Every structure is written in C-alpha cells, then in structure tokens.
Structure 1
Amino acid sequence: MKSQITNALSDFFFEYETPRQVLVRNRRVGVVCRIIQLGVLAYIIGWVFIYEKGYQSTDTAVSSVYTKMKGVGYTSMNGTERVWDVADYVFPSQGSSSFVVMTNYIITEGQAMGKCPELPGKHNCSSDADCEGGRYRREMTGACVNSTKTCEVLAWCPVENDHNIPDPPLLISAENYTLFIKNSVTFPLFGVTRSNLVEGVDTSYIRTCLYHPKDAPLCPIFRLGDIVQQSGFSIENIAKEGGAIGIVVDWTCNFDVDVKHCKPKYNFHGLYGHPDEKDKVKASVGYNFRYAKHYIENGIQKRTLLKVFGIRFDIIVQSLARKFDIIPTLTAIGSGVGIFGVATVVCDLVLLYLLPKREFYKNMKFKHTDSHTQEPDSEACSTETGESKK
C-alpha cells in the first residue's frame, strides 16, 4: 500500500501529460485554419492593441470649471436708453459651468399688487358669472370689466403682455461678448493634474488671443458669435427666443508620452434653439425665464418684471487618460491566445462532418476501446501460467 501511494505521488509530481495531435494534410482545411488564425491575429493587433489600446490602463478626471463673461450691451426702447453689463445679462453671476446669457427680453415696469383686468383675448367675459374665482392661473375677483370684456384679477398690475417678442433681438450685440473658460482636471490613478492654461498660454497671450479652431485652438477666450456659429445655429435665430449650446472640453491623453502633450480640445454642440435649424419639436421653442427687481415707491412696493430670452451654455468636461500597464497587457494577450482555439474548433467541424473522408478522419482522431476485451497484459499472464502448468 505504501509503495502504491509513493508511486502515485511520484507520477503526479514528476510526469507530464500532453495531448496527442493528428497532422492532417488537407489543403482546404489548412487554408481555412490559416485564414481564421490571420483574422484573429489581425483582431488582436489591430483592434485590441492599436485601436482599443488594450495594453494600457485608463482613468477619468476629476474636473473643475470657472467661467467669466465680458462685454457691454446697449438698448433703446420708447426713448429709454439702457446699458447692460455682465451683472445684468448673465445668470447666475458666480461663474459656474452652466449659465445663461440674455439676448432678448420683455419688460413690464411699475407693477404693483392690486386688481386689474386681464389681457384682451384671455379669459373673456360678458358677465360676472363668467369670472368665477379659482378657474385660471391668476386669482380672479369674480368681476367682469366692461371696458375690456375680460375678467378682473388679483395680481401684479399691469399684467405682463408677452405675446409679441421683440424682433430683431434687443441684445443681438451679445455675439460680440467674450467668454473665458478656466478648467482644471486631475487624473487620480496616474497622479497627474492639468489645466487648460497649458504651456505657452500665459498672461500676455490671453490678453491678445481669441479662440480659433485652427489658428488658436488652445486660447481659452471665446467669442459668443463664433460659439453659436460652430454649434450649427445662427445668432439671429437663437437670440430671439433663446436656446442651449453645449461646450465640450475634451481631455484625451496618452501618458506613455510626455505630460505636456496632454492638451484640451474644444467642441461646440447645438442642443436646442430655432426649430428650422436643428429642433424637430415645434412646441416650447427656445429658452426663457422671468425675474423681478423689487423696489419701494411712495411707500408702495413695486417691481419691474423681465421675461428673459437667452442662450444657455453648458460646459461639459470629457476625459480619458491612458498609460501602459502590464496587467491589461497580459489579459489582452491571454484572451487573444484563447481566441486562437476558434480555428481548431472550426477545422474539426469541417473534418468530422463536411468532408467526404470524414469517417477516415474520425478514426484517426478518436481511439475507441472495448471494455469487454481482455487487456493484453492479462492475456500474456494467462498464457505464461498455462505453459508453466504443462
């Protein structure tokens, strides 16, 4: 018993088993096998290693964006001249990555809380019975004003009339405003921090540069008219009723080379605006909101209401950094070697089921045994025993 255990352990540690292979000389099967192997090799080298960079590990960045607008607008309505600066036309004013630049507006001045008739065409009435309270968005008093034939409401009076949007836009000069973008990114996995103020973009350069996709692709100062144009909109159409534009800061970096080659690329995408240019949905066109400036006049609280039409800018940071790593490299190589087994499987199917000599190949590939046949060693032993008896 002890010798059997020793032999078993010796066989386990000191013997090596390898599968038996059959060499098949067949041109068609050989060509199929080589074509499949070349295809797998092209996939591993071309797709996995060259295109997908399977030998590198990846990381995305933690990002921060700061923005700053510059420019002055001028309007003249009904003899009233106004100058609009950054504090007036940018919402919010904290320099966030998402903000609105006002390009058009409807102003209603001197509103005070009280009772006044609704606008003509809204909530028409012929008697007080047509003005029951709580039926509409404004609180009705239940009275019908004969002069306008509209219901009386409790609201900020006079009520806003936003039927006619100014055309051309009042602040079409917004196309000459400039936007400064400051963006910092950190790739935690690789311990790399970069800013869009890369090498060569210093104070003197920023004072004179203006972004251009070919002439000045790294300049962080953008003219709003150029942004709108490169997004696919026209400033005249989107400025009237507003819209939205996405500014993508793309950080695609390869840290197998010097870090200074990691630089941002800027792309501009029109999200929604004028329906004749990009939008398919005709309802709820543009972008607008309201805000009010409250004040006290002769002891009465009043407000100036503005319905603002503007361009919403969303700055989106897109990042992907790569660097050589032995772990994904070995993983990619191992998976590629495993895929080579597809050629063997396909060729075996062709040999065993499609070729005219498939029975011959089956006999060569598989060795069949009969459990009822006496083993050769047993036959020899019994022969020797018989001879000894003689």
Structure 2
Amino acid sequence: MAGTELSGVVDEATFAREVAQEASRSSRETFACQDDEPRRPARNSSWDWNKICAYHTNRVVRIQDANLGYLYWGIVTLVVLYIQIVVFHIEGRHTFQEPGLGAVITKFKGKGFTADGKAFDAPDLRYPIIEPSGAFIMTRRVTVKDQKMGTCVDWDSPEHCPCGEHAVCGADNYCEVKGWCPSLGDHNIDHPPQGAVVEDILGLEEAVLMIVAGIGFPSIGKTFHVAGSSPDSSDLHKHITLPQLLELADPPMKLQDVAKSGCIIAVNFFWNCDLSWRSECEPKLSVKRVDDGTGFVQKRAKKKTVAGVETRDAVYMYGLRLIVDSSGIGRQISLVPIVIQLGSCLALVQIASMAADFLMVRMYDKERCDAYYRCKVVETKDYSEMQERLDLVGDQRSKAREMVQGGVIRSGGTGAGVSLGLGAGGRGNMSALLRGRNVGARSSAG
C-alpha cells in the first residue's frame, strides 16, 4: 500500500514539474515566428546607444530563376531608359523651367500703286501705323464717298419686310432705316452701290517687313535674347518680303490669292532655350493662316462738312493682318528637379519587383508557386486571441506552483491527502519530502 502511494506521489510531482516547464516554454514561444527568429531582448533601465541607434535593414531572398531575372532586369532597363531619354533628354525635367517675357517690333516699308497710277506709301497702306502686336497691310480698298444721312437699307444687317418700328418697307422687299446713305456693308461689299470706288493695290511684291523678336527669362539671367543676334545665325525675318513670308506659311500661299479678300497670318517666334552651358539662343519661326478662309477687312470712316452739310467717306480695307508673337521657355540645370526625377525612377523600379513577384507566385505551376511562396512569405502564429492564451498559461503556471510549493499532492487512487511538508528543523527539496514519507511508512509497518 505504501508503495502504491509513493508511486502516485512521484507521478504527480513529475506531472506538476512538466506542467510548469510547459507553461514556461509556452510563454517564451508565444511571440516567436515559425522560422525561429531571435526573441526581442528584455528591457533594460540603462541607456544602450548601440541598441537605440541600431540600423534596421530589409531581408532579401535571392530567387535563382533566369526567367524572373530577365523580367526584372528588363523592366528596370526600360525604366532607366525612359528616365534618361524621355524625361531628361526630350522633356528636360531635370532643369528649372521658366516662361519667357517676349517682345516684338514690326515695321513696314514699301509702296503700292493702282491701275490708274495712284500711289500709296507706308502710312496709306498700314493702318494703324503703330501696332504693338503686328501690322495690317492693305491690298484692296472700296470707298463710298460723300455719304449723307437719309433712309436706306442697312447692308450691315439687312431685314426683309414686314418691318418693325422706325423702319419702312422699301424696294426689293427690304426694310429701310435712317442711316448713312448709300449704305456700304458686309452684304453688298461684293456688289457695292453705284459710285463706289474699288482700288486693287499692285506692286506689293517688293514691300519689306522688318520683324524684330526678343525674349527674356528674369529668373535665369539678365540677358535679353534677340532673334539673329547669335554669331552663327542669320535672321532673314528682319528684312523679309510679303511673298517670302507667305511662302513660309503652312500651307504656303501666294500674295495674289489673298489680295482680294485679305487674310489673318499668325507669325510666332517660339524659344526653347537651354541656358545651362551657353547664353545664346535662337527661336523657331511658325507662320500659319488662322482665318479659315473668311478673309479680313477693316472699316474706316472720315467725316467732313461741305456747305453746312455733314458728309462722310466710308472705306472698306482688305489686306494682310499679321499677328506677331514671341514666347518660349528657358531652362537651366538644377539639383532639385534632378533629385525629384531620380526619386521617381526609384519608385518606378518597384514595378519590376511587382511584376516578378506576380510571375513567381501566380503564373508558374502550383508546386513551384507554393515553393516560391514559402521562400517569400513567413507566416506567424495566430495572435488574434493572444490575451486569452496568456491568461491560460498564467493559470497553468499558478496551479503548478501551488502544487509544488504548497506541499500537498492529491492522489487520485487513494482519495486521501498525503502531507509532504517538512518536519521541525527539516529542509530539503522534493527528494527530501519523498524520503521522509518513505521513512514514515516503514516505521508504521514495523
């Protein structure tokens, strides 16, 4: 009987010790990853600058697969070429860019003649004489002299009968209103009224335009760049004839084709100046017709009084309306945009990693994808119920400690409590307790 009790006590003591060890081991392994990562060191009250200023780096998995390498480095090469060719060379995003402040001066020299020998000089042909953004050169003129106030059809905006207030129905079923008569307007300019004088200007092929264009970039430098001022350039636009200018248009035109109806010509000097290594810059010239074939005409009126009666001369002037503009961008290498573009390059390189990862874990066969997935991804234990597990481990350790230190182990076989406490003056561990119990059993048997 005593042997049975002793065996039960030893088994329960062993079980208690194993429970305590398991509880301690479980608490240590709670935050450990599956790949046996080292545990975080315990906190220390002293300052350890090696730990405080420690460097953290990413862990790299080297996948020995040629296809993944081809894909990754191919995309990296494309990104680098894009940044170097498109961003740096073509678009110039590595430079500081500033829109320029342009200015133009347009002068006209030449004479024209009518078929009856009447001469026109520059003040007659150009109206207005001073214009900051271009010039108008007359090629045809229609004049109605000595208009008087009366009632007639307004050929700028003619209306058919029936007529409204302040108008009467006149000949040809048109409304007549009070105005300068005979009327000259947009609707009868091709068939002007009787007495109108039509003059076609001839000899403009020898007329010369002098166009001076310049631009400045205040934030880049104090130099004001003038077209044709570079040592190796020749500015033909400073002395260019009207036929030469029309030949530069897109599409090319001839003076006799636009002389009757006129036209609007846009002359643009566009500057694209890289001022990083040099101070000279020359523009590109663009000449284009922008009136869609409708022509261009100006209206003038000159009033006079004859014998107390006020009259006027109405003039329609057709011609070339030149709109000259100077604009552009100045660039200079700057460190800030270079750093920004290099940062964007590094960000775009991540596309290569994303593409290679997608191929590695999605596009291969299942066995290889699973193997690569295990190399790339480290899965931890489920910590969603962490606090409950910690409480359970704590309860197990508390119960084991009570069983060991309290000196009472309950035997499931006998149903009686067996005291393992030390006698008076006794000290010892579990072995001493068991030996004391064994001696007591022998004394009882004797």
Both proteins in one fold, TM over 0.5: yes
1:176 is aligned to 206
- Partner Cα distance (1:389, 1:57) in 2: 83
Say which SS state the counterpart of residue 317 (structure 2) adopts.
Answer: strand
Runs (5+) with no aligned partner, structure 1: 125-129, 202-214, 275-284
1:207 is aligned to none
| CA gap 1:39/1:371 in 2 versus in 1, 3 angstroms | same
| CA gap 1:389/1:347 in 2 versus in 1, 3 angstroms | farther
Residue 106 in structure 1 maps to residue 142 in structure 2 = yes
RMSD (Å) for aligned C-alpha atoms: 3.4
- Asked whether the equivalents of residues 265 and 289 of structure 2 are also in contact (C-alpha less than 8 Å), the reply is yes
Map 1:352-371 to 2 at 5 A: 352-356=361-365, 357-371=368-382
Residue 295 in structure 1 maps to residue 304 in structure 2 = yes
Deviations 1:327-346 (A, max 9, x none): 11111112112211111111
| CA gap 1:157/1:368 in 2 versus in 1, 3 angstroms | closer
- Asked whether the equivalents of residues 143 and 314 of structure 2 are also in contact (C-alpha less than 8 Å), the reply is yes
| CA gap 1:297/1:82 in 2 versus in 1, 3 angstroms | farther
Deviations 1:352-372 (A, max 9, x none): 111121111111111222257
| CA gap 1:75/1:200 in 2 versus in 1, 3 angstroms | farther
1:63 is aligned to 102
- Partner Cα distance (1:99, 1:268) in 2: 14
- Partner Cα distance (1:174, 1:289) in 2: 19
Residue of structure 2 aligned with 1:90, choices 123, 126, 129: 126
- Partner Cα distance (1:265, 1:304) in 2: 43
2:226 is aligned to 195
Residue of structure 2 aligned with 1:272, choices 291, 307, 329: 291
**Identity between Structure 1 and Structure 2 (%):** 21
1:211 is aligned to none
Deviations 1:23-80 (A, max 9, x none): 111121111111111111111111122222232111121122221111111114xx6x
- Partner Cα distance (1:144, 1:20) in 2: 97
Offset of residue 153 of structure 1: 4.3
- Partner Cα distance (1:292, 1:389) in 2: 128
Offset of residue 6 of structure 1: 4.0
- Asked whether the equivalents of residues 152 and 176 of structure 2 are also in contact (C-alpha less than 8 Å), the reply is yes
Offset of residue 318 of structure 1: 2.4
Partner letter of residue 134 of structure 2? S
2:63 is aligned to 24
Larger radius of gyration: 2
The alignment of Structure 1 onto Structure 2 pairs a total of residues equal to: 338
Offset of residue 199 of structure 1: 4.6
Offset of residue 248 of structure 1: 0.9
| CA gap 1:164/1:234 in 2 versus in 1, 3 angstroms | farther
Residue 53 in structure 1 maps to residue 83 in structure 2 = no
| CA gap 1:354/1:113 in 2 versus in 1, 3 angstroms | same
Map 1:366-381 to 2 at 5 A: 366-371=377-382
Say which SS state the counterpart of residue 137 (structure 2) adopts.
Answer: strand
Say which SS state the counterpart of residue 272 (structure 1) adopts.
Answer: coil
Residue 155 in structure 1 maps to residue 185 in structure 2 = no
| CA gap 1:150/1:341 in 2 versus in 1, 3 angstroms | closer
- Asked whether the equivalents of residues 106 and 135 of structure 2 are also in contact (C-alpha less than 8 Å), the reply is no
- Asked whether the equivalents of residues 210 and 237 of structure 2 are also in contact (C-alpha less than 8 Å), the reply is no
Deviations 1:179-213 (A, max 9, x none): 11122321011123222251569xxxxxxxxxxxx
- Asked whether the equivalents of residues 115 and 155 of structure 1 are also in contact (C-alpha less than 8 Å), the reply is yes
- Partner Cα distance (1:250, 1:56) in 2: 19
Residue of structure 1 aligned with 2:274, choices 249, 254, 260: 254
| CA gap 1:295/1:200 in 2 versus in 1, 3 angstroms | farther
Say which SS state the counterpart of residue 286 (structure 1) adopts.
Answer: coil
| CA gap 1:50/1:116 in 2 versus in 1, 3 angstroms | closer
| CA gap 1:169/1:323 in 2 versus in 1, 3 angstroms | farther
Runs (5+) with no aligned partner, structure 2: 1-41, 405-428, 432-446
Say which SS state the counterpart of residue 340 (structure 1) adopts.
Answer: helix
- Asked whether the equivalents of residues 271 and 329 of structure 2 are also in contact (C-alpha less than 8 Å), the reply is yes
Deviations 1:268-297 (A, max 9, x none): 1121253xxxxxxxxxx2111311112222
Partner letter of residue 254 of structure 1? D
Residue of structure 2 aligned with 1:12, choices 41, 44, 52: 52
- Partner Cα distance (1:350, 1:200) in 2: 58
- Asked whether the equivalents of residues 118 and 150 of structure 1 are also in contact (C-alpha less than 8 Å), the reply is no
| CA gap 1:5/1:268 in 2 versus in 1, 3 angstroms | farther
